[in-house]
Amino acid sequence: MRMIFFAAFILFLSCASWAFEREVTYDGAAQWNEFRHFVLEQQKEDERAGLGYMISGAVAAIGGTIAYHQSEEVFSRTIFAITSNVGLAAIGLGATYYWTGNEVDSFFYAIDGSSLSLAEKNEVLQRYLSKERQEKENRRWIRVVTHALIAVANIYSASQEQSSEVRSVFYFLGGANALLAVSYSF
């Protein structure tokens, strides 16, 4: 049972890396003034999210470290050490959101501060949004293929494993990644 719990925890951590990649998507029309409003609101949200990640990360890092030193069991200490590390990563992620925003900001400031007319800004925005939609679709399919490959590798490993406990972990990881691949395909 511990192996399955540990496998679930590792699966959560591997999926968390996809979750930390927050995509900012503007689905409105290629109208600069609407886009400008969206970006400025998104910057406020980035600051709120960043602060939230830094606070919760600090709590996880401190709590994990305290629990690590209080625990005597190896398995528990491992989980607490991982929790502490995830907390530290969350602090870094929060700081990134808070102080640097997202990938749209650079484009926005380059165009917003330019001498382009509103019609020219709208044209550049249209081209940018078209390219972003294409790249978003590519990232989605990369996730599908990545999780499908992980699923196949784990199911194959399970079929070759002699230990029933380890085999269960591989099947669990294979099934979970297969579900993730299917979920990203929509």
Taking residue 50's Cβ as centre, other Cβ atoms within 10 Å add up to: 20
| Predicted pLDDT at 106 | 92
Q: What is the DSSP letter of 22?
A: P
Tokens of 51: 């602060």
Joined tokens for residue 144: 């599908």
CB neighbour burial string for 1-16, b if at least 16 within 10 angstroms, e if fewer:
eeeeeebeeebeeeee
Q: Residue 101 region, left (φ>0) first, then alpha (ψ -120 to 50), else beta?
A: left
Tokens standing for residue 151: 């699923």
Burial 107-128 (b: 16+ CB within 10 A, else e): ebeebeeeeeeeeebbebbeeb
What pLDDT is stored for residue 9 in this prediction?
62
| CA–CA gap between residue 53 and residue 55 (Å, rounded) | 6
What local confidence, expressed as pLDDT, does residue 99 receive? 95
**pLDDT for 122:** 97
- Please say if the pLDDT value at position 16 is more than 60: no
Q: Say what the pLDDT of residue 111 is.
A: 97
Q: In this predicted model, what pLDDT tens digit does every residue of 34-81 receive, in sequence order? A: 999 999 999 999 999 999 999 999 999 999 999 999 999 988 888 899
Task: Enter the tokens of residue 73.
Answer: 């069991």
Q: How far apart are CA 76 and CA 9, in angstroms?
A: 12
Handedness of CA 104, 110, 114, 120 (dihedral sign): negative
Torsion angles phi and psi, residue 184, rounded to 5:
-75, -15
What is the pTM assigned to this prediction? 0.69
Q: Using one digit for the tens of pLDDT, what is the confidence trace for 98-143? A: 999 988 999 999 999 999 999 999 999 999 999 999 999 999 999 9
Q: What is the CA radius of gyration of the chain?
A: 21
Q: What is the pLDDT of residue 45?
A: 96
Q: Which residue has the higher pLDDT, 124 or 16?
A: 124
E strand residue ranges, 87-164: none
